[in-house]
Amino acid sequence: MLLHIPEVLTPTQLQAFRQKLDAAPWTDGRITAGYQSAQAKNNAQLDENNPLARELGTIVTEAVLRHPTFFAGALPRHIHPPLFNRYSGGQQFGFHVDNAIRYDRTREPALPIRTDLSATLFLAAPEDYDGGELVIEDSFGTHAVKLPAGDLLLYPASSLHKVKPVTRGARVASFFWIQSLVRDDAQRRILFDLDVAIQSLNQNPASDQNALLSLTGVYHNLLRQWSES
């Protein structure tokens, strides 16, 4: 499931992020890539141990956990601390699949996180750069995504994906991975659709409350059956 989640960050937060990131000390992005991915990766990245990365990453994590669409789609158990990257001057990241396990090294000992989902939070407005589309291949075809600043794309980490060359300006984004309470993508999609339907009915005063209660029970019983402790 590819899920577009709008307005994760406010305009005020975005302005502050960009001011700080424009002055940040960017380094070679291949430092966080696996062996195979490193052959295809050409971008800049903010060192994950940089205090600015920790500061902004905490804001991103808190923002996504407050967002009902993100929570419904991801059902997060663990979120890897968000990282930050920058593409400019023709930089790109060829087709690759994300590592199955990432380590949260802010924990002691480091916490292994199974990467069920990948997330890209766009921090630059699409009109500020050319290229830089996130291209994802799945069973329904190829999708090229370039979202407004502050919007996030959630997608299966098992997907083959790439970032197209940035030929003008700079593409700045945050990216991270999620271990979900529900490992299976199809099951997460069923739960997401059911949750959205329940939320819609809750907003309608004329809804049949007994039917709504029944649907809510079905949702939680499925979640109880499919979730991992």
The reported pLDDT for the residue numbered 152 is 98
220 in the same domain as 121: no
The per-residue pLDDT for range 128-175, each reduced to its tens digit, is 999 999 999 988 899 999 999 999 999 999 999 999 999 999 999 999
Indicate which CATH number applies to the domain containing 202: 4.10.860.20
Asked if 195 and 170 sit in the same domain, the reply is no
- Show the domain range for 135: 3-180
Among residues 79, 93, 67, the alpha carbon closest in space to that of 173 is found at 93
Q: 106 and 190: one domain? A: no
Q: What is the pLDDT of residues 209-225, one digit of tens each?
A: 999 999 999 999 999 99
pLDDT digits (tens, 9 = 90+) for 89-119: 999 999 999 999 999 999 999 999 999 999 9
The last residue of one of the domains, among 144, 162, 180, is 180
Number of domains in the chain: 2
- Please check whether residues 96 and 194 belong to one and the same domain: no
Are 71 and 173 contained in the same domain? yes
